[in-house]
Amino acid sequence: MARRLGWLGPAIVAVGLAAGGVGGWYMMTARPSAGEVIDTLPIDSQASLVVRAEQGGDRTFIELHVGDETKWQALVPTYAGRRGVPGLAWTQNAVSVRVVRGGRAEIFAVAMRDGSKLGGLKLAPDHGPIKRDAGGPVTFTDHVRSYEIVAGEGWNQLVALDLAKGRALWKVELGPAPVVEGGLDGGVFWVRQGTGRRSFYVFNGEERDLLKSRE
């Protein structure tokens, strides 16, 4: 489970080179252009992350806007989020982007300072292809970790990622019922599937009600 991006510190160069062939990062040599805005996520009162479709393509632009200025623009594979259902998480140093490549869920990380690539991570590699029309939530964040909902035919998985170290912390198999809601409540992350609700401690993924039943 300890799949590591190492997207901070001295490991950036080594990981960036190693992940280049695997991650399929797209440099803007062909001069693609950004199209319509998919979503805008405020960082603070001045800055925001803007997600834009590629004009005439299926890739995605991620942009950092500060006031009226676009600080940087990065081109990534197909964005897995949608308007009002974010697929981004961020810290002061990194932005993680939930993408779809080859029918599977992945994370791409870029530097908050300049949009350069930091690394990549495959989600739910032990499962089959994801459902693009699952309709539920995608990414939640407390800006320390991201919580990724990955949905496929007959399965759903919750994965927590450490945004500073660039690695998966824990995962939980949620079963076949579609995830319709999710959120953070203190030190707990919860999901709603059908009429049922399950809660997991953010530090280790242990199910809260299951722990209570052991006491």
Separation CA 202–CA 194 (nearest Å): 22
Q: Where are the domains of the chain?
A: 11-214
Residue 208: which H helix or E strand, with range? helix 208-214
Residue 11 neighbours by CB distance under 10 Å: 17
Question: 14: helix, coil or strand?
Answer: helix
Task: Identify the pLDDT of residue 30.
Answer: 59
Each of the 215 residues of the chain gets a pLDDT tens digit; together they read 444 455 543 333 322 323 333 344 444 455 889 999 999 999 999 999 999 999 999 999 999 999 999 999 999 999 999 999 999 999 999 999 999 999 999 999 999 999 999 999 999 999 999 999 999 999 999 999 999 999 999 999 999 999 999 999 999 999 999 999 999 999 999 999 988 999 999 999 999 875 444 43
By the 8 A CB rule, do 81 and 132 touch? Answer: no
Specify the pTM.
Answer: 0.84
Q: Please state which CATH number belongs to domain 11-214.
A: 2.130.10.10
Separation CA 93–CA 107 (nearest Å): 16
Task: Identify the pLDDT of residue 3.
Answer: 47
Burial class (CB in 10 A: 0-12, 13-18, 19+), 32: middle
